[in-house]
Amino acid sequence: MADGYVIDEENRSCGEAAREPDPSDSLRTFGAVMQALREHAGYSRAEFADMVSFSKHTVESVELGRRMPDIALVERSEEALGNTGALRKASKHVTRGRGDVGLAAWFRQWARLEQTAVSLGTYECRLVPGLLQAEGYARAVFEGTVPVAPDSLLENYMARRMERQRMLFERPTIPFSFIVEEHVFRRRFGSPEQMRQLLDHVLELSALRNVTLQIVPLEAGLHACLDGPLQLVETPKGQRLAYSEGQQNGRLISDLKEVSLLCQRYDTLRSQALNAKDSRGLLERLRGEK
């Protein structure tokens, strides 16, 4: 939990073993290649981190095979190291081993459904959806958990959340729809610069052709989804499923009538939210205020 909100996708349930898994061979290999290219170019980790606009800690974690490389880090590293294409090609073959590491037990089944879904919809009223979170925002969320997560698990959570975001880029023909309350983006965390980085990150992701972000403005008033956050998915076989979450628990919903009702609520809210263009305009104005 952080600031009164559940840490949904990556928080562990209390009884699970709190152990960082061994990194996969492909993850270690990618990190070693990245480190070798950096050192060959003559950059220290601190210098390189500044060049690619990631923290030194993140660069170190990737080079040591402790976390998945963020797609933005791969692209910026390629540009900084001569655009050889080596890192881009290598990143496509990186795996972390167990795909559900760092995921809450109740979320794992849903996470697997995400990987094969033909469409995904998310409504969020608590915090920025995990698939849209900037690194600084995600870290602040995890650092606010109660009980406090040890550093080893914190890095595991961070790696898994950033890894999940790769779906937006790696599945460019799959539509991802997000409806988020305006107050979520107004909730302050960290410094003004961290707030701007969050908004820049969301603007970058929402510019993808397969991503639609709609914001429910403060003046919209009451609406049909006030019962809480909601996620919807359509499987390759055409089955529609839903997922809802509360304090330290989550529920996968397959009942046809219940899923149909939740889809109706989601569709109704889409008509009440700002359209994608106006939503981006609102985010740009919020960025200017920070």
Q: What are the tens digits of pLDDT across the range 170-215?
A: 899 999 999 999 999 999 998 899 999 999 999 999 999 999 999 9
Residues 20 and 191: their CA atoms lie apart, in Å, by 30
Q: What pLDDT is stored for residue 103 in this prediction?
A: 57
Q: What pLDDT is stored for residue 6 in this prediction?
A: 34
Q: Are 85 and 74 in contact (CB under 8 A)?
A: no
What end-to-end distance do the CA atoms of the chain give, in Å?
26
**Smallest Cα–Cα separation from 244: which of 257, 259, 256, 224?**
259
Q: What pLDDT is stored for residue 38 in this prediction?
A: 94
CB within 8 Å of 33: residues ≥ 6 apart = 86, 87, 90
User: Contacts from 240-246 at CB under 8 Å and sequence distance 24+?
Assistant: 241/113, 243/110, 245/6, 245/8, 245/106, 245/107, 246/6
Q: What pLDDT is stored for residue 15 in this prediction?
A: 32
Q: What pLDDT is stored for residue 245 in this prediction?
A: 82
- Ranges of residues in the chain with a pLDDT under 50 are 1-22, 98-101
| Helix boundaries (H) for the chain | 25-41, 45-52, 56-63, 71-80, 86-91, 108-116, 135-143, 151-170, 182-186, 192-206, 256-272, 276-289
Q: What pLDDT is stored for residue 261 in this prediction?
A: 96
Q: What pLDDT is stored for residue 215 in this prediction?
A: 98
**Smallest Cα–Cα separation from 64: which of 72, 52, 56, 75?**
56
Q: What pLDDT is stored for residue 14 in this prediction?
A: 31
- Concatenate the DSSP letters of all residues of 237-254 into one string: TS-EEEEEEETTEEEEE-
